[in-house]
Amino acid sequence: MSKLIYSAITSLDGYVADAAGKFDWAEPDEEVHRFVNELERPVGTYLYGRRMYEVMVAWSAVHADDDLPSYVRDFAAIWQAAEKIVFSRTLESPSSTRTRIERDFTPERIREIKTKAARDLTVGGPTLASEAIKNGLVDEWHLFIAPVVVGGGTPFLPDRVRVRLELLDHHRFGNGMVHLRYRTCATGTPQSRETAALPLV
């Protein structure tokens, strides 16, 4: 079965966007970008909610522009080549190739996708990832911790969920960012008091 990976850049205090909704402080430099490219290259499918998809779909318009750095063009090619599944109840049609829309994000459906997939999958965005985490679907975690404290905003992880993790790898970058790679322990079934269904949009 393919792995489901949750990967994101987060502040030291655990936010993917600050209270103003900004995440410019998380912009990767060339070293980090190239590292991310190698992590993303084996991925076959991206799982998104509508909001995260609307952020990422900008990569569908990045083509072989010589004015762009090679590592940026490389990431665009990786993203465009992968399958994208957008879970939304309001989005009528996708605006990128290799993309389909599904209305319901359920544990059964995600397990079915994982079983049939020939390559690994990633879940993008903290809202969709929270639902995956609460249902014990995330196999690996990739945290890029930026050397900044933002004081509040959109959290990287859901509240009131406990999961045991095993550290697989770590890497320090020249800009002070750190990458931590974990996998969910076999006994790491989430213990959660959260019962609300995912509010798809």
Going along the chain from its start, the domains and CATH numbers come out as 4-138+150-158 (3.40.430.10)
| 201 vs 189: CA distance, rounded Å | 27
Q: Look over the chain and give the mean of its residue pLDDT values, rounded to a whole number.
A: 92
Helix pair 70-81, 30-40: axis angle to 10 deg: 20
pLDDT band at 66 (very low <50, low <70, confident <90, very high): confident
| pTM score of the predicted model | 0.90
